[in-house]
Structure 1
Amino acid sequence: MGGFDRDRVAALLVGDGTLTPLAVVAVGRRVDAGQLDESLAAPERATPERATRQRLPITDLLLSVRPVSVPTVAERDGRG
């Protein structure tokens, strides 16, 4: 993934400066390789261990935080 606005993510998720985000993770769901485009399915079929790998439960990957309202960049700059 590309970069992310560390200050904005921290403000949106916590707001009080107690946490500093270091990474952003894309979360998705696993589907059968037969449902994928060939460019995505081929690597899944090429390595047997990929088919049997285990995923952590999403609850092990996320922090429980309270969302806060933060103005958009346009609102902050008086354009929104």
Structure 2
Amino acid sequence: MVYAIAEAEGVSPSEVKSPPLYECVDAAALEDTFFGPDVTGRSRQGVGSVKFHYTDYLVKVRSDGWIQVYEPTETELS
């Protein structure tokens, strides 16, 4: 996620600091939910996504691994 945010901001990943990403989203929980094994130890097969705001951007993490970082529309702000 940090690399995608850095690319959107036009900075290096080490410059993505304020606010710290962990204050906006629980990255470990996202990783476990989308990419970790289920309770039986098998790979997850579900499809889904999570959106959260980070500075001026909306970040969308999809269960297929794609991460989108973009400026939200008026309807997404409300």
Q: TM exceeds 0.5?
A: no
TM-score, length-scaled by structure 2: 0.23
Please tell me whether Structure 1 or Structure 2 has the larger radius of gyration of its CA atoms.
1
TM-score, length-scaled by structure 1: 0.23
Give the number of the structure whose residues are more often helix, by fraction: 1
